């Protein structure tokens, strides 16, 4: 009986963990445009490649490669990486997305038909993913950057309470925006579910 209860708890935790990301990508695939879904996945892939290349360049040892609610997650040797290096590692993913968008823009201008549509969707996906990840929200790249910069300034911020406050405020604004768009236009359901799930996880922790 105990094993069954433990299994149910683990399954429920896994659902809470992956539900936001799964919802977003499922919404992309059922939107009727597989090309846009493919571009979104490509943007997510180069985002993670950016983190991996930055880790190699900075000499940061990666302990393991796992999956979190936001997709792939790189786990470093905790306590051995200087704050500024960890901030640079976190910034690498959004930076590569913006670089990809910068390359896609001129190609979009010279291409036509499906090729133009592909680069346009890729540009939008890269920009959206970069901006989303740069929000100062806990478990986002932006939240990690904020924590590392604050902790580097003073050990008083190493407990993360100030970063948590920024995270809560930013996530509340994201959720409020999704509610407004949902009521105003009837769209952005996936953003609403995504932000609401993150918000509930934060209040539970």
- Check residue 23 and give its pLDDT: 45
- Check residue 6 and give its pLDDT: 52
Q: Does position 118 have pLDDT exceeding 60, yes or no?
A: yes
Does 32 or 168 have the greater pLDDT score?
A: 168
Give CA–CA dist 155/13, Å, rounded.
Answer: 33
DSSP 3-state assignment of 111? coil
- Mean pLDDT is lowest, of 30-34, 66-70, 129-133, 181-185, for 66-70
- Mean pLDDT is lowest, of 4-18, 63-77, 146-160, 187-201, for 4-18
DSSP conformation letters of 91-148: HHHHHHHHHHHHHHHHHHHH--HHHHHHHHHHHHHHHHHHHHHTS--TTSHHHHHHHH
Considering 22-31, 40-49, 156-165, the range whose residues carry the highest mean pLDDT is 40-49
Number of other CB atoms surrounding residue 75 within 10 Å:
11
Q: How far is CA 96 from CA 38, 52, 99, 120, in A?
A: 18, 11, 5, 17
The pTM (predicted TM-score) of the whole model is 0.73
Q: Please state the rounded mean pLDDT for residues 130-151.
A: 87
Does 53 or 5 have the greater pLDDT score?
A: 53
- Check residue 200 and give its pLDDT: 65
Q: Does position 68 have pLDDT exceeding 70, yes or no?
A: no
- Check residue 183 and give its pLDDT: 82
What are the structure tokens assigned to 125, written together? 């996906």
Number of other CB atoms surrounding residue 70 within 10 Å:
22
DSSP 3-state assignment of 192? helix
Asked if 98 and 130 count as a contact pair (C-beta separation under 8 A), the reply is: yes
């Amino acid at each position: 009986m105990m094993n069954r209860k433990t299994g149910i708890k683990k399954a429920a935790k896994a659902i809470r963990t992956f539900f936001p990301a799964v919802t977003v990508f499922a919404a992309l695939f059922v939107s009727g445009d597989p090309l846009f879904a493919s571009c979104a996945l490509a943007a997510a892939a180069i985002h993670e490649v950016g983190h991996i290349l930055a880790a190699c360049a900075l000499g940061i040892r990666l302990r393991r490669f796992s999956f979190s609610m936001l997709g792939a997650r790189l786990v470093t040797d905790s306590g051995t990486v200087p704050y500024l290096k960890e901030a640079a590692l976190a910034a690498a993913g959004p930076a590569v997305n913006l670089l990809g968008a910068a390359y896609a823009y001129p190609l979009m201008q010279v291409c036509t038909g499906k090729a133009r549509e592909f680069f346009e969707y890729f540009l939008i996906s890269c920009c959206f993913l970069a901006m989303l990840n740069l929000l100062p929200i806990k478990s986002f790249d932006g939240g990690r950057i904020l924590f590392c910069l604050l902790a580097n300034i003073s050990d008083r911020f190493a407990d993360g309470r100030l970063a948590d406050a920024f995270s809560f405020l930013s996530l509340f604004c994201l959720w409020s925006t999704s509610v407004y768009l949902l009521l105003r236009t009837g769209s952005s359901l996936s953003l609403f579910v995504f932000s609401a799930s993150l918000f509930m996880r934060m209040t539970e922790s």
